[in-house]
């Protein structure tokens, strides 16, 4: 892929320095529009998972809706129905289900 791009840029009659600048520009644009936003979302998700408290409404990775019943170091206990509780790893909590109810 990179070799093909380099050959195409050189075939246009540009100098090798211009080809390098174009390649660097492509990498910068890729970083700004793809990598950086993804890292920001991951950081926000980790922050949300660390701030979980008893009573928060959440959605677990399997699509299970529930309310946080208990918070431990590496896992939480989610109450999915009256007296029905499941244990889930904190990293499987995807988001707050109250966000869906507002929409």
Q: How many domains does the chain have?
A: 2
Residue 4's pLDDT is 57
Task: Identify whether residues 16 and 42 lie together within a single domain.
Answer: yes
Joined tokens for residue 70: 């208990």
Residue 95's pLDDT is 79
The CATH number that applies at residue 72 is 2.30.30
Task: Identify whether residues 60 and 80 lie together within a single domain.
Answer: yes
Residues in the chain: 103
Which of these three, 11, 26, 47, is where a domain ends?
47
Task: Identify whether residues 60 and 74 lie together within a single domain.
Answer: yes
Task: Identify whether residues 40 and 66 lie together within a single domain.
Answer: no
Task: Identify whether residues 43 and 57 lie together within a single domain.
Answer: no
Residue 102's pLDDT is 54
Task: Identify whether residues 56 and 98 lie together within a single domain.
Answer: yes
Residue 75's pLDDT is 93
For residues 93 and 76, the answer to whether their CB atoms sit within 8 Å is yes
Residue 11's pLDDT is 53
**Domain coverage including residue 58:** 52-102
Digit-by-digit pLDDT tens for the chain (103 residues) are 555 555 555 555 567 788 888 899 999 999 999 999 999 999 999 999 999 999 999 999 888 999 999 999 899 999 999 999 999 999 999 877 665 555 5
Task: Identify whether residues 40 and 12 lie together within a single domain.
Answer: yes
């Amino acid at each position: 892929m990179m070799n093909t791009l380099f050959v195409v840029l050189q075939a246009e009659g540009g100098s090798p320095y211009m080809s390098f600048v174009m390649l660097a520009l492509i990498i910068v644009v890729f970083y700004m529009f793809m990598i950086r936003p993804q890292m920001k979302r991951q950081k926000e998700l980790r922050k949300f998972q660390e701030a979980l408290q008893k009573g928060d409404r959440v959605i677990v990775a399997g699509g299970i809706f529930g309310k946080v019943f208990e918070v431990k170091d590496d896992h939480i206990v989610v109450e999915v129905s009256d007296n029905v509780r499941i244990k889930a790893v904190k990293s499987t909590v995807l988001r707050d289900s109250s966000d869906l109810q507002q929409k």
